Amino acid sequence: KRSYTITLLPGDGIGPEVISVAKDVLVLAGSFEGITYEFREMLLGGAALDATGVPMPDETLSVSKQSDAVLLGAIGGYKWDKNEKHLKPETGLLQLRSGLQVFANLRPATVFPQLVDASTLKKEVAEGVDLMVVRELTGGIYFGKPRGFGTNENGQETGFNTEIYSAHEIDRIARLAFEIARKRRGKLCSVDKANVLEASMLWRKIVTELALEYPDVELTHMYVDNAAMQLVRYPKQFDTVLTNNIFGDILSDEASMITGSIGMLPSASIGASGPGLFEPIHGSAPDIAGQDKANPFATVLSAAMLLKYGLGEERAAERIEKAVLDTLNRGFRTADIYSAGTKLVGCKQVGEEILKSV
């Protein structure tokens, strides 16, 4: 019997609702595979701000670090939007990512055949899209120093940030991307702005050197502006996409919208050691919070990624993935993915249907 400690971070908005469903699914899928869990629920984001005055309490980080994996719902909301930087829910999330040293953010963008019509792209363009964005998550302009506010030589107020990458930071994320590409369709596209930025020039140099160790992976390079176009033009050209923190933020969101399955997409953030952080890519949707309208599929699939990438429990992960597909095939939909001829249900009932299929 294998037992794991899981930190749950419900967060804000619809976070608690989707985490509750995912927890039940984790437990049931685990029970069939001889897995038990000890769950610890901690505060993050706006919920933490309201209760403790900071968006990521020390205890949240220390408990997370001591656990085998962390499952996060969503953070943020209008209520805290005007807060100063150190009191923003987002700052808490960034502190958690940094504290856990989860430098690799894996964001699959997959079109579910049952939902292909939800894409705004033509069916023949969207169907079959199956790509993985590997985004650097603990470096670049998100964390680079110096940053802040100042005054320039003309006495004008300035705001500034530093995009900086070291060879080591690039090497470790690129290695992971090559490994992932190898297990997928063997194609890696590294996205940068090496025609303008020095940080991107180093990025491209390190990635190119590393390619010698992965002769079985086909490496290409693309400028970020072109990548933003190519995702719209012909998304099926991509298998694995490697990019930095800010470009990954933008491109992974674009890619997920292209699938039309945005309420369905999970993510995994992992480091060299220590627990991974797993979360849906969608936000906290404060407008529908507490109304049993949230789509829990993405969080449930994040729980599957937790089992697969976080705990190495592939069989339990597959159980969940199959249960999700089965639930879709049986026609159950939340409002965001509803279409004529399917069954519109709430967050809880989707959870119950997934449990039936596990």
Contact (Cβ atoms closer than 8 angstroms) between residue 188 and residue 136? no
H-helix or E-strand spanning residue 3:
strand 2-11
Among residues 33, 90, 179, 326, which is the contact residue for ligand IPM, using CB under 6 A?
90
> Any residues with CB less than 8 A from the CB of 332 and at least 6 apart, and which?
342, 343, 345, 349, 350, 353
- Known catalytic membership, residue 225: yes
Chain positions 269 to 328 lying near ligand IPM, rule: CB under 6 A, are: none
C-alpha 172/C-alpha 178 separation (Å) is 10
Residue 215, preceding bond cis, omega within 30 degrees?
no
Stretch that binds ligand IPM, among 54-62, 87-95, 229-237, 304-312 (CB under 6 A): 87-95
Beta-strand relationship, 130-136 and 104-110: antiparallel
| Interacting residue ranges for a second copy, rule: CB under 8 A | 76, 85, 88, 90, 94, 120-122, 125, 141-142, 144, 147-149, 152, 154, 156-168, 193, 195-203, 224-226, 228-234, 246-247, 249-254, 256-258, 262
322 beta partners: none
- The catalytic residue among 142, 165, 214, 309 is 142
Q: What's the Rg (C-alpha) of the chain?
A: 20
**Partner in contact with 257, chosen from ligand IPM, a second copy, none, beta carbon below 5 to 8 Å by kind:** a second copy
C-alpha 37/C-alpha 350 separation (Å) is 23
C-alpha 351/C-alpha 161 separation (Å) is 42
- Known catalytic membership, residue 142: yes
- The catalytic residue among 253, 292, 326, 336 is 253
Closest CA to 276 of 139, 137, 183: 137
**Partner in contact with 164, chosen from a second copy, ligand IPM, none, beta carbon below 5 to 8 Å by kind:** a second copy
- The catalytic residue among 4, 88, 249, 308 is 249
Among residues 162, 166, 195, 339, which is the contact residue for ligand IPM, using CB under 6 A?
195
Nearest approach in angstroms of CB 168 to a second copy is: 5
Token duo for residue 338: 């509803």
- Known catalytic membership, residue 253: yes
Nearer to a second copy, 62 or 195 (CB): 195
Contact (Cβ atoms closer than 8 angstroms) between residue 191 and residue 239? no
Stretch that binds ligand IPM, among 90-98, 113-121, 213-221, 342-350 (CB under 6 A): 90-98
C-alpha 191/C-alpha 13 separation (Å) is 33
Nearer to ligand IPM, 140 or 274 (CB): 140
Chain positions 239 to 268 lying near ligand IPM, rule: CB under 6 A, are: 249
C-alpha 178/C-alpha 302 separation (Å) is 22
- Known catalytic membership, residue 78: no
Among residues 198, 225, 287, 314, which is the contact residue for ligand IPM, using CB under 6 A?
225
User: Which residues in this chain contact ligand IPM in the complex, by CB under 6 A?
Assistant: 90, 93-94, 195-196, 225, 249
| Residues annotated as catalytic (active site), given as ranges | 142, 193, 225, 249, 253
